[in-house]
Each structure stands twice: as C-alpha cells, then as structure tokens.
Amino acid sequence: EVQLVESGGGSVQAGGSLTLSCRTSGIDISGYLMGWFRQAPGKEREGVAIMAKNGQISYAESVKGRFTIAKDNAKNTLTLQMYDLKPSDTAMYYCALSTFPAMLTANHPSTETMMDYWGKGTEVTISS
C-alpha cells in the first residue's frame, strides 16, 4: 500500500521559514514524479512545486525564489523548504505522487488530476 505522510507544518510569522517533509512508503519515489500542493481556506487546491523523476522542477509563480522542492531517494522523502513566508502562504499543504511519465507544470489546472496518491496534509499558518 502506498502511503504519503506529511510533516513539518506549523505557525510562524511573516518572513520566517519552514521545511515540510513527505515520508513515502510502499513505492520507490525515485521512479516517479512528485509534487506539493496547497489549499487555502475558501480556495481551491493549487499546485506549488513539481519534481519529475529526472530532477526537472516546476514552481508556481507565487513561490518562485522562496520555495525549494527536493527529493531524498535514499530516505524515500520529498521536502519543501519555504523561506520568506507570507500570510498568503497560509494553507493546508499536501504532497502527491504521479505515475504519469512526463513532466507536469506546477500550477496548470490539470496537474492535480494527474496525481495518483495523496497525503493527508500538514497545516501552515503565517501571521503578519
């Protein structure tokens, strides 16, 4: 059974940083595309960052230069380093894995539908 478990969320002030982790079991993530998504209160879920199995990366414009996605294949873990956090980054953050063989764009409307497995999320709250 494939399981994705996010951790690392919390409450920080604007300008602060957090690192989210997504520990995965039941599948070798080195062979798959993975990504981070978020859903703010009252809004639809949106893509934040995508990493293909070859290391190609796509970020949403709103997080470029502030967020860094990385994959530790040895630990079967996906991470998202977040810097210079803003109140607009407040959301539930989810990691996901896709068996789709090609690269996906982080903030394309169809990207979310291409993900096959999802974690339950970790909450991030940024205060001003």
pLDDT digits (tens, 9 = 90+) for 6-27: 999 999 999 999 999 999 999 9
pLDDT bucket at 102, cuts 50 / 70 / 90: confident
Residue 3 has pLDDT above 90, yes or no: yes
State residue 15's pLDDT score: 98
pLDDT higher at 110 or 124 = 124
Residue 101 confidence class, pLDDT cut points 50, 70, 90: confident
DSSP 39-76: E-TTS--EEEEEE-TTS-EEE-GGGTTTEEEEEETTTT
- The continuous run of DSSP H or E covering 95 comes out as strand 91-98
pLDDT digits (tens, 9 = 90+) for 34-76: 999 999 999 999 999 999 999 999 999 999 999 999 999 999 9
The three-state secondary structure class of 104 is: coil
CA distances for 57 relative to 71, 75, 92, 122, 126, angstroms: 11, 19, 21, 22, 25
Residue matched to tokens 């602060």:
16
The mean per-residue pLDDT over the stretch 117-128 comes to 98
Tokens matching residue 74: 């040895």
